[in-house]
Chains A and B, each alone.
Chain A
Amino acid sequence: MADLEAQVRATLADRAGRLEGPLPYAAPPALVDAVATRAAQLHRRRTLVRVGGAAAAVAVIGLAAATLVRGPSVAGPLGPAGSVTATATATRTVDSATATATATRTVDSGTSGDTSAQAAAEDRIIRAALAADPAFPAGWDPQSQAVFGCGFYRVGASADLTYRYVWANCSMFQGDTVVSGMSVPLWLHVRGSGESLEVLGHEIPGDGTAYTADVRRLFPADLVDTFLGAPTTDIVRVAGALALRDAREQRASAAGTTPTAAP
């Protein structure tokens, strides 16, 4: 074994030495800039994660409280053509909404001044725009009696708020059951804000091999990892809970009642 250890030492030293050419090996000038850029990205992402973590914590607390009231949840993954029972409770939904509103204000702080009412108004306008797009579930089965509910988790926006970057859950609900739906990153081109928001354009990444490339094309570099990693985070669950709340509110509004919490 000693021979082998000596061989390993010699090999490693030999290989390390090959990186030292006749010229002193200094850091390439562009590296400093690259490190600075990457460090700034990490800092922004850490801020986002901290905000998202707080939102998730509130959502988890809500879920735990709801579980105590109603028993364990059996919610499953949301697929574009699946039939999944959405069992998020009103308690969870309300808390998730609060969490999201908090996250939105923090993420957009200094650029938005969003209020919950403004955000709710914007959500309705965005939902209406998406409902007209046959790519979204409302267009999959226009004759359906199901309610088209959307939840938007605001991940970021351009400095002038012209472009919004959100995780969207848009689903067709029969009762609290999702009969079809999609949970996707959404790029929005908008004008105005609040009640006067106008959706000028929107796009979602393509499926399969196009997905990652489209995410990189549509979203700022410092948000790409957030979107690519979102399916493993609470962003998706919060958006789903908000979609359910939206569907309940639409039903309640149509019936002239207020949405009720969990029975």
Chain B
Amino acid sequence: MDLEGFVNAHYAQLLRRAYLLTGSRADAEDLVQEALARTWEAARGRAVESPGAYVHRTMVNLYVSRWRRRRLRREDPVAEIPEPVAGGARHTADAVGEVDERDRLWRVLGSLPAKQRAVLVLRYYEDLSEGAAADLLGVTVGTVRSQTWKGLRRLEAALGSRVEGDGRG
């Protein structure tokens, strides 16, 4: 596959994932570009088994290492202010409240340490098992479990949610 085909094959999916990790469109684009470049460079002169998985792994690990200290995130652009949900429910108090809640949760997600956020994205957006997430991050299943737990606890504390059970399983 040539570079253009490789980029186009993975860009959109990577960008969505990167956006969930970084919380910023600009940072996401930087992250995707770097991950694609590293994967392409790594594939120079040798076969990379499953380049899609490779670039995904590269991107997540780049994020964890590079964004680890960037806790003060850039604000999202105005265009990304939450919009009301579609349909007749848009004016109901419940629907507006739901949007507010998601917006708050999104902001709190952005305040989590990189590894916790990465684990939550892998587990709850990509629906990876604990084992698959651990493999992708190069950590143990126990680490994925503990980071998930810590991340959820922090979200809960920030949102004031009620916890049912400890969720350690």
Q: Which residues in A have some Cβ–Cβ distance to B below 8 Å?
A: 1-5, 7-16, 18-20, 24-27, 31-32, 34-36, 38-43, 46
Minimum CB–CB distance from B155 to chain A (whole Å) comes to: 6
Closest 5 CB pairs of A and B: A38-B37, A1-B167, A27-B11, A12-B125, A39-B41
B7 within 8 A of A: yes
Q: In the bound complex, what is the Cα–Cα distance between A4 and B162 (angstroms)?
A: 8
Q: Which residues in B have some Cβ–Cβ distance to A below 8 Å?
A: 3-4, 7-8, 11-12, 15-17, 19-20, 25, 33-34, 36-38, 40-41, 44, 80, 101-102, 105-106, 109, 120-121, 124-125, 152, 155-156, 159, 161-167
In the complex where A15-B106, A39-B41 touch, is A31 in contact with B7 (Cβ < 8 A)?
A: yes
In the complex where A10-B102, A12-B121, A16-B125 touch, is A36 in contact with B3 (Cβ < 8 A)?
A: yes
Minimum CB–CB distance from A29 to chain B (whole Å) comes to: 9
B102→A7 contact, CB < 8 A: yes
In the complex where A2-B164, A34-B33 touch, is A19 in contact with B7 (Cβ < 8 A)?
A: no
B37→A15 contact, CB < 8 A: no
Please, which residues of chain A bring their CB within 8 A of the CB of B105?
7-8, 11
Minimum CB–CB distance from A196 to chain B (whole Å) comes to: 39
Q: In the bound complex, what is the Cα–Cα distance between A15 and B17 (angstroms)?
A: 10
B16→A4 contact, CB < 8 A: no
Closest residue of A by beta carbon distance from B106: A11
Q: In the bound complex, what is the Cα–Cα distance between A87 and B68 (angstroms)?
A: 38
Q: In the bound complex, what is the Cα–Cα distance between A13 and B156 (angstroms)?
A: 19
In the complex where A4-B163, A32-B7 touch, is A39 in contact with B44 (Cβ < 8 A)?
A: yes
Please, which residues of chain B bring their CB within 8 A of the CB of A41?
37
Minimum CB–CB distance from B40 to chain A (whole Å) comes to: 4
Q: Chain A binding site: helix, strand, loop or mixed by DSSP?
A: helix
B166→A38 contact, CB < 8 A: no
Please, which residues of chain B bring their CB within 8 A of the CB of A2?
164-165
B152→A38 contact, CB < 8 A: no
Please, which residues of chain A bring their CB within 8 A of the CB of B121?
12
Please, which residues of chain A bring their CB within 8 A of the CB of B155?
4, 8
Minimum CB–CB distance from A9 to chain B (whole Å) comes to: 5
A15→B19 contact, CB < 8 A: yes
Please, which residues of chain A bring their CB within 8 A of the CB of B166?
1
B40→A4 contact, CB < 8 A: no
Q: In the bound complex, what is the Cα–Cα distance between A42 and B106 (angstroms)?
A: 34
Q: Which of B41, B44, B106, B162 has the most CB of A within 10 A?
A: B41
B8→A26 contact, CB < 8 A: yes
Minimum CB–CB distance from A232 to chain B (whole Å) comes to: 16
Please, which residues of chain B bring their CB within 8 A of the CB of A20?
12, 16
Please, which residues of chain A bring their CB within 8 A of the CB of B4?
32
Minimum CB–CB distance from B74 to chain A (whole Å) comes to: 15
Q: In the bound complex, what is the Cα–Cα distance between A3 and B152 (angstroms)?
A: 11
Q: In the bound complex, what is the Cα–Cα distance between A10 and B109 (angstroms)?
A: 13
A4→B37 contact, CB < 8 A: no
Minimum CB–CB distance from B23 to chain A (whole Å) comes to: 9
Please, which residues of chain A bring their CB within 8 A of the CB of B101?
7
In the complex where A11-B106, A19-B19, A42-B37 touch, is A35 in contact with B161 (Cβ < 8 A)?
A: no
B152→A19 contact, CB < 8 A: no
Partner of B125, one of A9, A19, A24, A35: A9
Please, which residues of chain A bring their CB within 8 A of the CB of B36?
31, 35
16 new A-B contacts, CB < 8 A, other than A8-B155, A10-B102, A39-B40, are A3-B162, A4-B152, A4-B163, A5-B152, A8-B124, A12-B124, A13-B125, A18-B80, A27-B12, A31-B33, A31-B36, A32-B4, A34-B33, A35-B3, A35-B40, A41-B37
